[in-house]
């Protein structure tokens, strides 16, 4: 973290913030930096981190509706719909009628999408590992535990 970040966001050991607010600011800053770094990796192929996250959800949920994908991403139906159109144009996503209810639409990844990610995964995993290389394996495990506990608490709080 740069000295400028410490000053602007009041982070670091000399912070005047209460710990929870300081943690929130640090988490927001970290999230934004990681989002930016991944966007940079994907930009040459015309993709964004949010689009990649939607594709991850579509694969994991196996043909979800837009509403189901939005719930998984903890975002609005409108935000997901805005991600679908460019992914469909780029050939990464297909919108299909639900066989049980023709009015409802389901999202499915394409073979082109699967092939694209197979060609990227190793390099992307190496980049992400580098981003977290400031942590030892034990620290990384602790960081994951902390993040997952906070996320679990947020999911139960409605907040």
- Summarize the confidence of residues 125-135 as an average pLDDT: 95
Mean of all residue pLDDT scores within the chain: 91
Structure-token match 């929870």, residue found? 20
Confidence of residue 77 (pLDDT cuts 50, 70, 90): very high
Q: Is pLDDT above 60 for 159?
A: no
Q: Is pLDDT above 80 for 158?
A: no
- Number of separate helices (H) and strands (E) present in the chain: 7, 2
CA-to-CA distance for 22 and 32, rounded, in angstroms?
Answer: 15
Q: Choose between 118 and 158: higher pLDDT.
A: 118
Helix axes 49-61, 19-43, angle to 10 degrees: 90
CB neighbours of residue 74 within 10 Å: 9
Residues 6+ apart with CB under 8 A from 107: 54, 58, 63, 64, 65, 66, 69, 84, 93, 94, 95, 96
Q: Looking at the DSSP assignment, which residues form a beta bridge with residue 105? A: 97
pTM: 0.83
Q: Is pLDDT above 90 for 12?
A: no
Q: What is the pLDDT of residues 97-109, one digit of tens each?
A: 988 888 889 999 9
State what percent of residues in the chain have pLDDT above 90: 70
CA-to-CA distance for 73 and 140, rounded, in angstroms?
Answer: 23
Low-confidence winner among 44-48, 65-69, 101-105, 125-129 (lowest mean pLDDT) = 101-105
CB neighbours of residue 41 within 10 Å: 16
Q: Is pLDDT above 60 for 157?
A: no
Q: Please report which helix (H) or strand (E) contains residue 127, including its range.
A: helix 111-131
DSSP string covering 19-61, please?
A: HHHHHHHHHHHHHHHHHHHHHHHHHTTT--HHHHHHHHHHHHH
């Amino acid at each position: 973290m740069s000295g400028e970040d410490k000053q602007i966001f009041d982070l670091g050991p000399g912070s005047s913030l209460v710990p929870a607010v300081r943690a929130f600011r640090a988490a927001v800053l970290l999230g934004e930096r990681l989002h930016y770094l991944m966007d940079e990796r994907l930009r040459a192929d015309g993709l964004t981190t949010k689009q990649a996250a939607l594709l991850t959800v579509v694969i994991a949920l196996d043909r979800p509706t837009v509403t189901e994908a939005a719930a998984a991403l903890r975002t609005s139906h409108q935000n997901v719909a805005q991600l679908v159109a460019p992914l469909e144009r780029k050939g990464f996503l297909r919108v299909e009628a639900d066989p049980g209810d023709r009015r409802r639409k389901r999202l499915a990844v394409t073979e082109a999408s699967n092939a694209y990610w197979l060609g990227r995964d190793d390099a992307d995993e190496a980049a992400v590992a580098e981003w977290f290389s400031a942590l030892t394996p034990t620290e990384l495990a602790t960081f994951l535990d902390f993040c997952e506990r906070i996320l679990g608490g947020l999911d139960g709080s409605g907040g």
